[in-house]
Structure 1
Amino acid sequence: MNTMIGVLIPLVGTTLGAACVFIMKKEINALVNKGLLGFASGVMIAASVWSLIIPAINMSSNMGKLAFAPAAIGILVGIGFMLILDMIIPHLHYNNDKPEGLKSEKIRKTTMLVLAVALHNIPEGMAVGVVFAGVISQESTITMAGAFILSIGIAIQNFPEGAIISMPLRSEGVSKSKSFFYGFLSGVVEPIGAVLTILFSTTIQPLMPYLLSFAAGAMIYVVVEELIPEASVGEHSNIGTIGFALGFVIMMILDVALG
C-alpha cells in the first residue's frame, strides 16, 4: 500500500500543476518560468546524487576500490538511453518552434508538447520505481522514508512541469479541460514507468546498483539537455541559477535529514 502511494505522489504534483490552467488567465511569467525550471533542475540533480548514485555505490562496497563501477556504467547507459529516446520520439519543447526527434507531419503540435514533458517524466518514474523496489527487497541502504522523500521531491518539481504544459496549450486555443487533461496525461507515464521498474528490479536483485545509477543518468541527461538550457536562454538567466540552488539545497536537506 505504501509503495502504491509513493508511486502515485509524483503524478499528484503534475496534476496540481496542470490545474493552474483553471485559475490563471495567462501563460506563466517568463522570469517565474526560469525560476521554476531552475528549481526543478536542482531537485533532480540532488535526487540523482543522494537518492540514487550514493546508494548505488554503497551497495557495491564489496567491490572495494571498484565500487564506483556499477554507478559509472549505469549513469552512462542511462544518459545513452535518454539520448536515443530524444532522437527517436517526435516532441516539441516549450517556447521552441522546431520539433525534435524523428520527423512526423501527422503529429499535432499539442501532442508533441505533451510528448516533450512525457519524455522528461520517464526517468523520474524509473527513479521512483527503483528506490521502492529497493525497499521491497529490503535493501539496507534504501529506507521507506528515503523513498518517500524522493517521490515527494519529484512531485514538487513536477508541479511547474504540469503548469508549463497546460498553460501553453491553453494559449494555443485548447480548452481548459483538455489542457488540464493533456497536462495530467504527460504525468501518467511516471507511475507506469515506476511500476514496470519495480517489477523488473525485484526479479533481478543484483542489478539494483546499475538500475539506481541508470535512473540517475537519465535524470541528469534531462537536466543538462533540456531544463538548464531552457532556464538560461535569454535575459535574467541568473533567476534559473537561483532556482537551481534552492531546489538542490531543499532536496539535499530533505534527503539527508529525513531519509
Structure 2
Amino acid sequence: MSALLPSLLAGLATAIGCLIVLLTRIPGRRTLAVMLGGAAGVMLAVVILDLIPASLDTGTPLETIIGTAVGIGILWVIDRAFASRTVTSPFHQIIAMRRLGYMMTIGIALHDLPEGIAIAGAYAVGGKLGPLLAFSIALHNIPEGIATAAPLQMGGLRRSHILLINIIVSLFTPLGTLFGLFLIQVSPQHLSFLLALAAGAMIYLIKDELLPAAQRMSMLWCWCGVIAGYLLLWFSQFIAG
C-alpha cells in the first residue's frame, strides 16, 4: 500500500496546475514548452532506463511487447474518443469553452487511470522505479491541470467549482493504483505486462501529447526541456548507483 500516497500526490499535481491558473497568470509559451518538454524527457528516461528493463527482467519479451502495445492502444482509444469532439460554437463562446473544459476533464481523468496502474506496477518491482515514475507523472499532470482549468475559467465557471473538478480528477490516479495493486495481488505473474503497459502509456503521452503541445509553444525550448528532463533523471540514477 506504500504506492498509494505517492500516487495521490502525483494525482494532486493536476490540482496544482489548476491553482496556477486560478491564482496567477497562465505561464508563458516558453515556460510551458520547457515544462511539457521536461515532463517528456523525464518520462522517456523512465521508459528506457527503468520500465522496459524491469518488464524484461520480470517476464518474457513477448509480454513486454504485448503490454507496450496495449498501453499505447488504450490511450489511443481514449484520445480518439475525446479529441475529435472539440466544440467551437460561433453563437456562444463562453458555453463552448465550458464544454471544452468538461470534455478535457473527462479525457484527462481517463488518462489518469492507466497512469495509476503504472505506479502500482512500478512500486511492486521495488527500488527507485516507483518514486521515479510517480515523479514523472506528477510533472506531466501539472500542465494537464493548467489545460483543464484554463477553458473552464474562460467559460465563466466559479473558481471553487474549477478547483473541486480538478481535485476529483486528481483522485483517478490513486484509483488506478488501487486497481493495479488488486491485479498484482490476484495475479502477480502479470507484473511484467503491467510494467510494459505503463511504458506503452508513457510512450503515447510523449509522442502524441507532450511533444506536440510543447513544440507548438516553442520548438527550441521544447527540446531544451526534453534534454534537461532526460539528463536530470539519468544523472540522478547515476548518482544513486
Classify the TM-score, shorter chain: 0.7 to 0.9
**Under a length normalisation based on structure 2, what TM-score does the superposition of the two structures give?**
0.84
Correspondence for 1:13: 13
Q: Within 5 Å, which residues of 2 pair with 1:139-154?
A: 142-154=125-137
Q: Within 5 Å, which residues of 2 pair with 1:60-209?
A: 60=59, 67-88=60-81, 90-91=82-83, 108-132=99-123, 134=124, 142-209=125-192
Distance 1:35 1:158 in 2: 14
Deviates more, 1:223-232 or 1:168-177: 168-177
The Cα of 1:73 is off from its aligned counterpart by: 1.8
- Whether the 8 Å CA contact 1:126–1:197 is kept in 2: the answer is yes
- Whether the 8 Å CA contact 1:27–1:171 is kept in 2: the answer is no
Aligned residues: 233
Distance 2:203 2:175 in 1: 20
| Matched AA of 2:137 | I
For residues 107-164 of structure 1, the C-alpha deviation after alignment (integer angstroms, 9 at most, x for no partner) is 92221121232243233212112122x2xxxxxxx32443223223322332232233
The Cα of 1:84 is off from its aligned counterpart by: 2.1
Show structure 1 runs of 4+ deviating over 6 A.
Answer: none
| Matched AA of 1:52 | L
**Alignment root-mean-square deviation, CA:** 2.6
Give the direction of change, closer, same or farther, for the CA distance of 1:217–1:11 in structure 2 (3 Å limit). Answer: same
The Cα of 1:251 is off from its aligned counterpart by: 2.6
**Under a length normalisation based on structure 1, what TM-score does the superposition of the two structures give?**
0.79
Correspondence for 1:101: none
Distance 1:15 1:256 in 2: 32
Correspondence for 1:137: none
| Matched AA of 1:238 | L
- Which has the larger share of helix? 2
Give the direction of change, closer, same or farther, for the CA distance of 1:154–1:168 in structure 2 (3 Å limit). Answer: same
